[in-house]
Chain A
Amino acid sequence: MSAQRPIRRKLDFKSGRVDLSHGAGGRAMGQLIEDVFHTAFDNDWLRAGNDQSAFEIGAGRMVMTTDAYVVSPLFFPGGDIGSLAVHGTINDIAMAGAEPLYLSASFIIEEGFPLADLKRIADSMGAASRAAGVPVITGDTKVVERGKADGVFISTAGVGVTPPGVVLTSDAARPGDVVLLSGSIGDHGVAVMSKRENLEFDVEILSDSAPLHHLSAAIIAAGGAGVRVMRDPTRGGLAATLNELAQQSGVGFSLAEEAIPVRPEVAAACEFLGLDPLNVANEGKLVAIVAPEVAEVVLAAMKADPLGARAAAIGKAVEDANRFVEMRTSFGGGRIVDWLAGEQLPRIC
């Protein structure tokens, strides 16, 4: 006669909450991991149930990145902390010109976090991962006391491989290079801010959170060695990214405001809050600095990709010891585009 086994109760996704036992390393945690994360990510590596996962390395240079996601609110129009984590990590790899291969995800969950929300986040991550073709092959779970984490924090790592000969570095921009932008700016930041307490306004803007690795591969294929550097303008917006590149490459930039795509609703929301779209975060856009002789063919390749339909040439790198990012406004005058101090406070007045 076989030994009796305890009946394994299903997780209560309707009204259950994460508690400290889920992080304690015992059966409860095992069940959480299986029923939430393994189910959501659904691949052989995770099913093997090891603390680590192995994979073969091919030829070429490996690229590795790490990121943490603490977005608030956790769920916003067009995405959530989970899908954001997948896309953001893939994008960091893609910006190096590399093909993203694998992701890891570790979760720090606050005691009391609803299981329904955790499942929703995990499922969203799984879907994003599958759609992008980049599996989450290893992970970790911790639970901290109530009040010690804002719902859930997700930390990721990603690995990828760069094709031979592809070397993109942030100091590579040269005067004369063309600045290409893959689409409209400000969507993500506005989508998230519209849900923030005390700022409530209604707007039909979705976050642009998306994986850019197909777009970046198309850019490399079209531009080859003429592609100097790519970067995705996340926190701090396009302004921060261009200023970083200006500093790192020792050039200035000269932009045309009219060329920069901004959706009308995003422009209007920024008007409401007194924000400049240039400073607002994006999660599905990239900037590519390319040599002038490949600009046209790279731009065409970007426009051919669904995530680059509104791609545009917005300016060029110039000789400038001061490394200013200057812009001709649509009004005709000049201004610089500076990166903002600290967190952007909606300008009320």
Chain B
Amino acid sequence: MKYVDEYRDGALAQTIAAAIRREADPARVYRFMEFCGGHTHAIARYGLEDLLPENVRMIHGPGCPVCVLPVARIDMAIACARRPEVTLCVYGDLMRVPGSNGMSLMKAKAEGADVRMVYSTLDALRIAENSPEREVVFLAVGFETTTPPTALAIRAAVKKTLTNFSILCNHVLTPAAIQTILQSPDVRELGSVEIDGFIGPAHVSTVIGLQPYRFFAEEFEKPVVVAGFEPLDVAQAILMLVRQINEGRHEVENQYIRAVGEYGNEKAQAEVAEVFELRDHFEWRGLGDVPYGALKLRAAYARFDAEQRFGLVEHPACDNPACECGAILRGVKKPRDCKLFGTLCTPDTPMGSCMVSPEGACSAHWTYGRFREVAKDASRREAVA
């Protein structure tokens, strides 16, 4: 596959890995947070961490919009789906996210709710057009990559004068999340999470460009390298971050030059700005309220807002008290620090969203990486014995 296979090449991986090993200063530790869930998944899926020296470590950030979706919002989606007149269209990853009482959209579907998995908002629009007697609701989730498709769906619904289409909006914003992490007590005061630099999201950046990251680089003096989606891209971005740290720089650099420009996709940004505005507050799982962190429909498009249309209410809901999704999303803890990981919480029986979404740190670790812990434990036990 063009623009895919070349960026997964094993020989080039060794080249870059060798460079990282050469250039990483053995006297210090480099801790980089990859913000984007897609990067978390790629790192795990290709075993990228095996190619890094001991003193270069990755911290998994909260860039997984399914993972940061609070229990209360999933409960709201389930309540909406249970209405007999509603056909709820969702992206595949959302089907098994656990809400309250062990409920999920998949279980609601099994109980008779009309929940349909779709690949695109285009499919949801088609369903609305073909089933005028149904109230078609699209569960809109995602960062800036996924928001333009929702905005375009609303615009198309206006153009087609659809009266049976609406969205349940849970779109969230990347810069706000990065800010929250950098300003969180864990990072600022307690120093329990040391982050030396960020790997910026690939496809969010094709939409928002490089501009929004400059603030963080300057204000918090942390380098940001926007990386492409493939493992070689991530490896190279790590090398670029190591170099910046070594040279005392804290700039925004672009590794994903083949798809990301300084200003991003201005047409996509305009569409989003036309349809959405900032929410006053929106609670993220694990991060609490993130100021300027989420979007809602503008008043002019209120008729497409399922929350208003169906009078949906958010009921405060709690995570399982032992669930460490929050701390894991902030990079404070690792999956195996969670008591539930691998015991009560597995991909078969997920307790929290970090385990359900394939991009969640827990899922990625369970699916691809948990053998390392066991190997480390074993060698630690041998060392002690």
Contact = CB atoms under 8 A, between A and B. Distances in A.
Contact between A and B in the complex (any CB pair below 8 Å): yes
Interface of A: 198-199, 258, 264, 267-268, 271, 273-274, 276, 322, 324, 326, 328-336, 338, 340-342, 345-349
B291 to A, nearest CB: 25
B377 to A, nearest CB: 10
Interface string B33-61: 00001100000111111110000000000
Given A199-B119, A324-B371, A340-B347, A349 B93 contact: yes
B117 A198 contact: yes
A281 B198 CA distance: 38
A336 B119 contact: no
Nearest to A331: B46
Contacts of B123: 198
Contact of B146 (A271, A334, A349): A349
A267 B359 CA distance: 20
Contacts of B116: 198
A268 B96 contact: no
Contacts of B385: none
A347 B4 CA distance: 17
A340 B372 CA distance: 19
B119 A347 contact: no
B91 A349 contact: yes
Contact of B368 (A268, A330, A336): A336
Given A331-B10, A334-B47, A345-B96, 8 more contacts: A332-B10, A332-B47, A333-B48, A334-B372, A335-B369, A336-B367, A338-B368, A340-B347
A264 B119 CA distance: 22
Interface of B: 1, 4, 8-10, 13-14, 17, 37-38, 44-51, 65-66, 91-93, 95-96, 116-119, 123, 142, 146, 231-232, 346-348, 357-359, 366-372, 374
A209 B242 CA distance: 50
A335 B95 contact: no
Central interface residue in B47, B66, B372, by most chain A CB within 10 Å: B47
A93 B14 CA distance: 45
Contacts of B37: 349
A271 B1 CA distance: 10
A345 B142 contact: no
Contacts of B13: 331-333
Given A329-B46, A329-B47, A349-B66, A334 B1 contact: no
Given A342-B348, A347-B358, A333 B367 contact: no
Contacts of A347: 92-93, 358
Contacts of A264: 1
Contacts of B10: 258, 329-332
Contacts of A326: 371
A122 to B, nearest CB: 32
Contact of A348 (B50, B96, B119, B232): B119
Nearest to A334: B47
Given A345-B95, A347-B358, A349-B66, A335 B46 contact: yes
A330 B7 CA distance: 11
Contacts of B95: 345
B366 A338 contact: yes
Contact of B47 (A267, A271, A333, A346): A333
Contacts of A332: 10, 13-14, 17, 47, 50-51
Contact of A198 (B46, B119, B370, B374): B119
A341 B117 contact: no
Nearest to A349: B93
Contacts of A330: 8, 10
A268 B1 contact: yes
A346 B92 contact: yes
A333 B50 contact: yes
B8 A331 contact: yes
Given A268-B1, A332-B14, A348-B119, A338 B367 contact: yes
Given A198-B116, A198-B123, A332-B14, A345 B92 contact: yes
8 contacts: A329-B45, A333-B13, A334-B372, A341-B346, A347-B93, A349-B38, A349-B66, A349-B357
A199 B367 CA distance: 24
A322 B378 CA distance: 11
Contacts of A276: 45
Contact of A342 (B17, B50, B96, B119): B96
